[in-house]
Amino acid sequence: MAKVNIPSFKLNNGMEIPAVGYGTWLGLDEKMEFKIQDAPKLVEALSYAIDIGYRHIDTAHLYRVEPEIGQVVKKKIAQGVVKRDDLFIATKVWHHYHREADVETSLRASLKRLDMDYVDLVLMHWPMSISQDGVDEKIDYLETYRGLEAVLKKGLTKAIGVSNFNLEQMKRLLANCNVVPATNQIEVNLNLGQKELVEYCQSKGVLVVGFTTFGSMVPSRATPDSPEPKIDNPTMVSIAKKHGKAVTQVALRYLYQREIATIPKSLSKNRVLENASIFDFELDKEDIAQIAKFDNGYRTDIPSFWQDYSNYPFEKIANPIQGIPLSLRKWKNGANLDID
């Protein structure tokens, strides 16, 4: 079996986080319903990922699959493939739990589903606070962050951070927190470089973890109006051929050289292996200059149904989607959607 050797970045608390992790968001279908039918494929792909050397697993309460992740991890520990201390496991608090005391409630529920005593990192998933009924609760994310600081102090997690925070929100958070967040997990890819936000976080010792790292490059995410590069873009193909790599590997390597960790998700074993096989080549200055030209601020993930809620972090668009999908408001966890 092929193996990968994934280097780590150091967090501001001294912990190390593998530079490439395994993302576990299965996504929504065209009806905005969760793709729980893919849970068995996720279990198989995650098991393979751990077998070949992945040690960073990214999940969330929203993803519904914490029970499956816990089962895979327990099995791999029992098989002697890994010890718990070898793994870096991150989860997230959804915006139904933004009151300070509710953060602990949320994390303890995640730990129960994962069947673990602690996680390595817990994030505030979004800066907004929205009830299951879609009501804007207008809870200050600084209060929510105090809840994260409290669970850190109790040892339920080894590090805390945020996700989907924009530049102004990061500045306000850092001016008012007791513990500097270890990470800010954001969409970042070749179209959405987020240079100012990334550089600010890095200047303050906050690691950027990128999601949607292929943007609209891959066919499943491309739309008629999405910009280049697509998977067959001549510039990207040329750079990939030069290094004997795939275009997606070039994209991940570009982010790694920007000192950004990534959490690509794939249910294909070949892609799981490919995504972590980016540490045996280096993009040169010419490659980087060509790739940087694709940065045009285009955002692939736009949850516009939230844009009128307090603390929504992105630019508002005309004609937003009306109504929050039920799948983002109420759910149960696990492959049978029967676990609280």
**Other Cβ atoms within 10 Å of 303 Cβ, number:** 17
Domain annotation covers residue 97: yes
CA distance 245 to 257: 16
Q: What's the whole-number mean pLDDT along residues 293-301?
A: 97
Domain annotation covers residue 241: no
Average model confidence (pLDDT) across the chain: 98
Residue 224 pLDDT exceeds 90: no
**Would you place residue 1 in the very low, low, confident or very high pLDDT band (cuts 50, 70, 90)?**
confident
Domain annotation covers residue 283: no
pLDDT of residue 33: 96
Q: What is the pLDDT of residues 78-109, one digit of tens each?
A: 999 999 999 999 999 999 999 999 999 999 99
pLDDT of residue 146: 98
SS3 255: helix
pLDDT of residue 144: 98
Residue 111 pLDDT exceeds 90: yes
CA distance 140 to 189: 29
Domain count, the chain: 1
Domain annotation covers residue 221: no
Greatest alpha-carbon span in the chain: 53
Domain annotation covers residue 43: yes
Answer left, alpha or beta for residue 80, where phi above 0 means left and psi between -120 and 50 means alpha: left
Q: Which residues, at least 6 apart from 98, have a Cβ–Cβ distance to it below 8 Å?
A: 124, 129, 137, 139, 141, 143, 144, 147
**Would you place residue 299 in the very low, low, confident or very high pLDDT band (cuts 50, 70, 90)?**
very high
Q: Which residues, at least 6 apart from 165, have a Cβ–Cβ distance to it below 8 Å?
A: 127, 141, 173, 184, 186, 313
Q: Which is catalytic among the residues 22, 54, 63, 254?
A: 63
Domain annotation covers residue 38: yes
Q: What is the percent of the chain where pLDDT is above 90?
A: 98
**Other Cβ atoms within 10 Å of 82 Cβ, number:** 16
Q: What's the whole-number mean pLDDT along residues 43-55?
A: 98
- The CATH number for 70's domain is 3.20.20.100
Q: What's the whole-number mean pLDDT along residues 323-328?
A: 97
Domain annotation covers residue 168: yes
Domain annotation covers residue 69: yes
pLDDT of residue 328: 98
Residues making up the annotated binding site for substrate are 125
Q: What's the whole-number mean pLDDT along residues 169-176?
A: 98
Full residue range of the structural domain in which residue 175 is found: 9-215
Q: What are phi and psi of 65, to 5 degrees?
A: -110, 15
Q: β-strands 16-18, 22-23: how paired?
A: unpaired
**Would you place residue 52 in the very low, low, confident or very high pLDDT band (cuts 50, 70, 90)?**
very high
Q: What is the pLDDT of residues 226-258, one digit of tens each?
A: 999 999 999 999 999 999 999 999 999 999 999
pLDDT of residue 216: 95
The distance from CA 215 to its chain's CA centroid, rounded to whole angstroms, is: 13
Our answer to whether residue 48 is catalytic in this structure is no
Q: β-strands 16-18, 8-10: how paired?
A: antiparallel
